[in-house]
Amino acid sequence: MGARVLIAKPGLDGHDRGAKVVARALRDAGFEVIYTGIRQRPAEITAAALQEDVQVVGLSILSGAHLSLTRKVVEALREAGAADVQVVVGGTIATGDVSKLHEIGAAAVYPTGTPLPELVKSMRELCSRTSRSST
Amino acid sequence: MEEVLTDAGIPVKGFYGPADASPDYARDIGDPGRFPFTRGNFAGGYRDRLWTFRQYSGFGTAEQSNQRYRYLLERGGTGLSVALDLPTQCGYDSDDAAVEEEVGRVGVALDTLRDAEILFDHIPLDRISTSFTINGTAAILLAFYVAVGEKQGVPRAALRGTIQNDILKEYASRGTWIWPPRPSLRLIADTIEFCAAEVPRFNAISVAGAHFRDAGATAAQELAFTLQDGVTYCDEVVSRGRMTIDEFAPQVSFFFYTHGDFFEEIAKYRAGRRWWARIVRERYGARDDRSCMFRAGVVCGGASLYAPQPHNNIVRVAYEAMASVLGGVQSMFTAAWDEPFALPTEESTTLALRTQQILGYETGVTRVTDPLGGSYYVEALTDEMERRVVEIMADLERYGGMVKAVEDGYVQRLIADEAYRAQRRLESGDKVVLGVNRFQDPDARPLDVEGYEMEAGDRARQLARLAEVKRERDSREVARCLATLKVRSRDDDNLMPYLVDAVKAYCTVGEISNTLRDAWGEFQQPVVF
């Protein structure tokens, strides 16, 4: 079975062009991709991650609220006993925030303009590092 | 020979001649100011009146945004364009814990009329026109504006501006929906009727294609989806039987993105004027030519700007602004070069405004109306753009109309297809973008910018003000207004007067939105990619 990824849009930001393009690129690259749609609360994203048994949750945030929203999703996953699910973040992310996102717990950060092949390669490496919990 | 295509995929020849343009000047082109308005809405064009310089702006608290507006007006801005934060746009208050990180972030936080009063402090609403990028809660913001006008002593009839108020494109591409389509269309029709009757110089709606475009749609799709939305709103009002097309159509306006394909954008605005004029006359039987006018505001920037070599964006925006003006638009927002990173600084936003001013005051492009009219190429491209728009709209009609198309995710899928195609063209180099896939800078480093964070003190001030308003207002009057609103939301009375009452009683945006959520439910998004 291929790598499973949840692409999620937390917060109120409705700009999902990037989320959808990334979802398609990953699907074309052989990933199994689930997309949540926009305006998902951290609890909803966590529930979807568990239900879909994904290895990686990709958050797409263009509103600038990425620090707080990423923290909330990372915490929600941890509280749900899914700390092994990796979180990556894409969107309008100021350079100075990349290291802050890593500190919060993001496994990778893909600011606007990240070439898709680079993103796909990075995601493939992340997924190969994580063993699936499914039986 | 390899086919040469525009960004929308329209094949173009090496040159054009007399055989390529419509032979019927009066029918298809016509002088500026005459139906079908291909060459412009007004014979005098920019000679008589320049487009409105309208820079989208707003952040943090009402005080902070008020300062920025006064700064822009002092520097020659001629209209305001209010950016609201996402909680205000989605119908939540600043003290709602679920949305705390969004308060004051992408726009100004408005919870109650008190905030709106501060936002327009010392800004004369009888002389400055204001555009609000607001959709889900547009009717509430209109009520705010009317109420602030009253407090300033400005009668409703003197208020000028626009609420975007276009929910269909929110479902399809921008995402600040609240209620499902049916009650949302009813509320939009209510605002259109209210403005026609009481706020005659205010555009009740700005049907927006910009967000389709930035989500990935081509120029032809952008125009087609927008006009189809326009038809849906006009159908809604006309079908009530309370108003004829001529009573409200002059207060319907449009809003688009101008991206980088120069002549295609010019053709888009010319085709938009012609096809909308024909729709309004033929579909609705308009008698007044003013009803047939396609008046467009535009934004230059967005997805056409790139992060690498960011100063190139200044040049991109300048060309886009030139295309918009040659296309004959009515108002313009030029994005700042640092838009791909963060909110603009005072310096970058001033430069963006200056870009328009140079165009308007220095280049001389304003001397003659529709200077490209009669260009074999531009006329042929206008014809082809119109043909494609007609085709896409017919497809949407066959599908079952715009409401069904957005509820099913049909439009969303068409847009996602184009977004993916555009990304692949970028990565293959088919679409050339400097700094991204051509002439990259070998030692480029990401620009070091700070993201905007609302200061803790400003946030605290916003919450304190909301708490104070809630403490001081007449809570019985608040309860009465909300109860009345709930009852009226279930019949077919125009809701606007009840909304004006509610905001004057200092009901919050969240309270009003939740009252209507209880009555109407929420939109269920189709998830497609």
B429, with CB counted inside 10 A (0-12, 13-18, 19+), is exposed
CA distances from B503 to A74, A118, B65, B115, B477 (A): 39, 50, 21, 11, 11
Extract the tokens encoding B456: 């803790």
B449, with CB counted inside 10 A (0-12, 13-18, 19+), is middle
Torsion, Cα A95 A99 A102 A106, to 10 degrees, reads 0
Residue from the list A14, A97, A115 with its beta carbon closest to the beta carbon of B174: A14
- Alpha-carbon distance values, B396 to B401, B403, B406, B499, B524 (Å): 5, 10, 10, 34, 21
Residues on chain B touching A7 (C-beta within 8 angstroms):
529
Cβ–Cβ gap A35/B527 under 8 Å: yes
Q: What integer pLDDT is reported at residue A131 of this predicted model? A: 59
Cα separation, B25 vs B36, in Å, equals 11
B212 at the A interface (CB within 8 A)? no
Angle between helices B219-240 and B410-428 (to 10 degrees): 160
- From chain B, pick out residues whose CB is under 8 angstroms from the CB of A69: 101
Which residues in chain B are closer than 8 Å to A13, comparing Cβ atoms?
A: 86, 102, 106, 175
**B308–A95 C-beta distance less than 8 A:** no
| Contact status of B428 with chain A (Cβ, < 8 Å) | no
Alpha carbon of residue B391 to chain centroid = 24
Interface residue B529 vs chain A (CB under 8 A): yes
Residue B198 has pLDDT above 50, yes or no: yes
Question: Residue type at B110?
Answer: L
Closest chain A residue to B305, measured at CA: A113
Query: What Rg, from alpha-carbon coordinates, does chain A have?
Result: 13
Query: For residue B104, which residues of chain A lie inside 8 Å, CB to CB?
Result: none
B235 vs A131: which has the higher pLDDT: B235
Radius of gyration, CA atoms only, chain B: 23
Residue B35 token pair: 């139906």
Q: H helices of chain A, where?
A: 17-28, 42-52, 66-79, 95-104, 116-129
For residue B223, which phi and psi values (nearest 5 degrees)? -70, -40
**What per-residue confidence (pLDDT) applies to B234?**
98
In the sheet that A56-61 helps form, which strands lie side by side, from edge to edge? A32-35, A4-8, A56-61, A86-91, A106-111
Tokens read off for A60 = 């797409």
For helices B509-520 and B496-504, give the axis angle rounded to 10 degrees: 140
The residues with which A91 forms a beta bridge, in sequence order, are A61, A111
Query: In which order are the strands placed within the sheet that holds B205-208?
Result: B202-203, B161-163, B129-132, B79-82, B52-57, B331-334, B296-300, B252-258, B205-208
CA distance B190 to chain A (A): 26
Q: What is the pLDDT of residue B54?
A: 87
pLDDT of residue B340: 81
CB burial of residue B162 (10 Å; 0-12, 13-18, 19+): buried
Give residue B448's pLDDT.
Answer: 72
pLDDT of A113: 85
Determine whether the interchain pair A65/B176 forms a contact, defined as Cβ–Cβ distance below 8 Å.
no
- Least Cα separation, residue A56 to chain B (angstroms): 18
> Which of A58, A67, A53 lies closest to A103, judged by CA?
A67
Structure tokens at B357: 């001013």
pLDDT tens-digit series, residues A52-88:
999 999 999 998 899 999 999 999 999 999 999 999 9
Q: Which residues of B touch A118 (CB under 8 A)?
A: none
The pLDDT of residue A134 is: 44
Cα-based angle B185, B187, B192 (whole degrees, multiple of 5) = 95
Longest dimension (CA), chain B: 76
Size of interface A-B (CB pairs under 8 A): 113
Nearest CB to A20; choose among B100, B343, B419? B419
pLDDT band at B451 (very low <50, low <70, confident <90, very high): low
Q: Which of B:73-102 have CB within 8 Å of A?
A: 86-87, 89-90, 92, 98-102
Contact of B420 with chain A, judged by CB distance below 8 Å, is answered with yes
Burial of B457 (0-12, 13-18, 19+ CB in 10 A): exposed
Could you report the per-residue pLDDT of B387-437, keeping only the tens digit for each?
999 999 999 999 999 999 999 999 999 999 999 999 999 999 999 999 999
End-to-end CA distance of chain B: give it in Å, rounded: 35
B134-149 confidence digits (pLDDT tens): 999 999 999 999 999 9
Flag whether pLDDT at B452 surpasses 80. no
CA distance B139 to B386: 32
Chain A CA closest to residue B424: A116
* Interface test with chain B among A5, A13, A15, A20, by most B beta carbons within 10 Å: A20
Q: What is the pLDDT of residue A135?
A: 36
Nearest to A12 among B102, B343, B449 (CB): B102
Given the DSSP bridges, would you call strands B129-132 and B79-82 parallel, antiparallel or unpaired?
parallel
Instruction: Give kind and range of the element (H or E) at residue B334.
Output: strand B331-334
Here the tokens at position B148 are 């602030």
Query: Which DSSP letter does residue B80 get?
Result: E
* Residue length of chain B: 529
Task: Please indicate whether, in this complex, the C-beta atoms of B176 and A116 are within 8 angstroms of each other.
Answer: no
User: Rounded CA gap, B503 and B141, in Å?
Assistant: 9
> Is the pTM above the cut of 0.90?
yes
Q: What is the mean pLDDT of residues B370-375?
A: 97
Tell me the pLDDT tens digit for each residue of B89-102.
Answer: 999 999 999 999 99
Q: B90 vs A11: CB contact, 8 Å cut-off?
A: no
DSSP state of B199: -
Along chain A (135 residues), what's the average pLDDT of each consecutive run of 10 residues?
Answer: 91 95 96 97 97 97 93 97 96 91 97 92 90 48
B136 to chain A, any CB pair closer than 8 A? The answer is: no
For residue B527, list chain A residues with Cβ-Cβ distance below 8 A: 35-37
Which of B173, B446, B529 has the CB atom closest to A95's CB atom? B446
**ipTM exceeding the 0.95 mark:** no
Q: Percent of chain B, pLDDT > 90?
A: 90
Chain A nearest-CA residue for B214: A17
